[in-house]
Amino acid sequence: MSLQHPEVVRLDLPARYTYLHILSDCIADMLRQIDGIEDHEMLTYNMQLAAHEACTNIVGHAYAGSQSGNERIVISLALFPHPRRLQIELRDTGRSFDPEEVPTPTLDQAQVHGYGLFLMRNLMDSVTYTPQPGDNHWCLVKHL
């Protein structure tokens, strides 16, 4: 099917790894509608991985130590026809961080941190993170 209008899916999930498969399924379903993609399986895998890395960051860092049980990730997935792209926005109300302070992994030193952000930046065309008290915002964009 060729996309004529933006298609948007919104999810409001508990910030737990258990529910990330819902996000994966949505990404796969949305990309399945796009014609003319060379390697569908690889693209879907990479988009799922990038989105999961953002969620892993939110669950493992933004909400680390939170015990209210009501931590959530609000996600908006949008498929735009012109220019054709997938945009994944994620919001959380947890602790923010400064992406500039996350070191790029140095393989020689077997550094163990920073792979999540590094992967996201390599898998997507654009990754922005806007920290704001009570409303941290990730925006991941991939041109298709």
The residue ranges that bind another protein (CB under 8 A) are 17-18, 20, 41-42, 45-46, 48-49, 52-53, 56, 59-60, 105, 107, 110-113, 115-116, 118-119, 122-123
- Supply the DSSP symbol for 109: G
Asked, as a colleague might, if the bond just before 81 is cis with ω within 30 of 0, I would say no
Please report how close the Cβ of residue 51 comes to another protein at its closest, in angstroms. Answer: 10
Task: Please say which residue, 52 or 142, places its beta carbon nearer to another protein.
Answer: 52
Residue that is written with structure tokens 């915002």 in the block:
137
Please report how close the Cβ of residue 30 comes to another protein at its closest, in angstroms. Answer: 18
| Whole-number Å distance between alpha carbons of 57 and 114 | 10
The tokens of 46 are what? 């990479």
Task: Please say which residue, 1 or 107, places its beta carbon nearer to another protein.
Answer: 107
Q: Which of 86, 15, 74, 7 is nearest to 50 (CA)?
A: 86
Please report how close the Cβ of residue 13 comes to another protein at its closest, in angstroms. Answer: 14
